[in-house]
Amino acid sequence: MTRIGSLSTLVLKTQATNKYLEARLSACMDCLGKVVQDGVEILKSQCLSLILYTHYARELTFQNFCVVFCQMPLLSGKLVSLAINAVAHTRRHTQLLAAAGKRVIEIAKRHDEGLDVQAVSVIVNGFARAGLRDVALFRHMSAVALRLIETKRSDFGAQAISVIANAFVKVHITDEMLFTRLAYACEHVAFSDFTPQAIANIMNAYARHDNLDNKALFAFLSKVSRQSVPSQWESRHLALVVNALAKVDYKDDGLLKWIAEAALARPTSSFDVQGKYSRKYSIYVPLAQRTYQRTDF
């Protein structure tokens, strides 16, 4: 009986010891997990700092390139978009952009919530600015945008819509479904959210996209334009809108009259070449001026 009692006591002690060790092990694993997670967050923060430095300094050192490149698999959609935006101004970093593109596709396949409307617009705009026609990337970004239009339509402002649409046409990728749904989202944006630049860029993008019925969208943007303040419009914005109307042969006497009035209020010299805009745009508004002067609307 003594042996049995001693054995029972030993078993109980062993069980207690095991429970204690299990608890300690669990606590250690939790602690280790937190250390690892904190380390990942530190790496992400370090990478973000380098990205932001690159964005403002416009220079990517080899050391920074290595850090960003190696940490790319850890980055969220937001941070990848920042990385793309930071280096998209030059074609010297195509290797980094290619890695960023792969990471974006991985995130998109998982339906990761880190890819919001702003991130999508920044990513496609960055690749378009860099002149990289990554069809797979743009298709995945289209799928994300379509999903966001259904779930978070209110997040689509005029600026985001104009950026996304122009990025697709800039790299010559047609996407009727995306442009149709973007037009739908556009028509639900508050008038106050539209700037002359956003209006002009959206109309220009849709005029350059083939096989689209732009009448409803152009009618909506015409109404938005005519309720805006003419003095806020620069000559290049007026020129882009008239050029878009001409491209799709959209007849809108009310908008043309409004543009002509806004154009007549500006000096003729303002329709010369401005910045990156070429003379092919500058000829349209003076044409609208002359049309308005000799036409009774």
Give the range of the structural domain holding residue 254, as residue numbers without chain letter: 214-297
- The dihedral through the CA atoms of 194, 188, 146, 72 has a sign that is positive
Residue 27 lies inside a defined structural domain of this protein: no
Residue 244 lies inside a defined structural domain of this protein: yes
> pLDDT tens digits for 59-112?
666 666 666 777 778 788 888 888 888 888 777 778 888 889 999 999 999 876
Residue 286 lies inside a defined structural domain of this protein: yes
CA distances (Å), 239 to each of 136, 185, 244, 273, 286, in order?
34, 25, 9, 11, 9
Distance CA 85, CA 16 (A): 57
Residue 227 lies inside a defined structural domain of this protein: yes
pLDDT given at position 280: 46
Place of tokens 């350059």: 208
Domain count, the chain: 1
**What type of residue sits at position 205?**
A
pLDDT given at position 60: 60
pLDDT given at position 292: 47
> pLDDT tens digits for 11-42?
555 666 666 656 666 665 565 555 445 545 55
Q: What are the residues whose beta carbons fall under 8 Å from the beta carbon of 269, sequence distance 6 or more?
A: none
The values of phi and psi at residue 176, to 5°, are -60, -40
Residue 141 lies inside a defined structural domain of this protein: no
pLDDT given at position 276: 41
**Which residues of the chain are modeled with pLDDT < 70?**
1-67, 112-113, 268-297
Residue 88 lies inside a defined structural domain of this protein: no
Distance CA 111, CA 194 (A): 29
Residue 254 lies inside a defined structural domain of this protein: yes
Distance CA 219, CA 140 (A): 30
Q: Is 12 exposed, middle or buried (0-12, 13-18, 19+ CB in 10 A)?
A: exposed
Residue 127 lies inside a defined structural domain of this protein: no
pLDDT given at position 275: 38
